[in-house]
Amino acid sequence: MTPPVFVDTNVFLYADQIDESMKRPLAQQWLQRLWDEQSGRTSIQVLNEYYWNATHKLNPVLSPDEAWARVQRLFSWNPQAIDMETIRRAHEIERRYRLSWWDSLIVGAAQAQCCTLLLTEDMQDRAVYGGVTVRNPFTLGVSEAAVEYAAPSTARPYRPRGRPKRLKPIAAA
């Protein structure tokens, strides 16, 4: 079984890109496997990016109604909202790893959903950000065992700022 896997915009787009003979089948295989295993995760940000790119950059572009229908189907993935906690987490990621703001939001949403694997071709392959490993879905085979990504870390993805709290002395009995 695959652990929770965060899927970035480009995987969804390649699955719909009719003229992409190499990446389309791989993207479709990834999405099918993650759907079958109920291990796929994404975020509202990804759905926003998908809609815009599908109606402006996909070849051929989708009509707004068709793109919206696909976004609505992706609601069944229960996408991570971009809330205050996700934004705070993204800010820490941006500062710590020097990622772009948008990539920091993606990594933050993946962390919030306990994902150990992030499928994207937009970040450095095999980079690790607070327990989330980035992999290019077009170089990581769908049938490859994801054993090395299986156990989400129970540790915090980053050390809290400030001084450590002092322990209270144990009272003598």
Q: One-letter amino acid identity for 106? A: I
Angstrom distances, CA of residue 62 to CA of 7, 46, 58, 168: 20, 17, 7, 62
Mean residue pLDDT of the chain comes to 87
pLDDT at 122 over 90: yes
pLDDT at 99 over 50: yes
End-to-end CA distance of the chain: give it in Å, rounded: 51
CA dist 95 and 169 (Å) reads 35
Residue 95 lies in a domain: yes
Contacts of 139 (CB under 8 A, 6+ apart): 125
Residue 50 lies in a domain: yes
Residue 49 lies in a domain: yes
Residue 164 lies in a domain: no
Can you give the pTM of this predicted structure? 0.82
Residue 40 lies in a domain: yes
Residue 170 lies in a domain: no
133-154: per-residue pLDDT in tens? 999 999 988 766 454 555 444 4
> Can you give the residue range of the structural domain that contains 37?
5-149
Per the structure, how many domains does the chain have? 1
Residue 55 lies in a domain: yes
Q: What is the domain-level CATH number for residue 114?
A: 3.40.50.1010
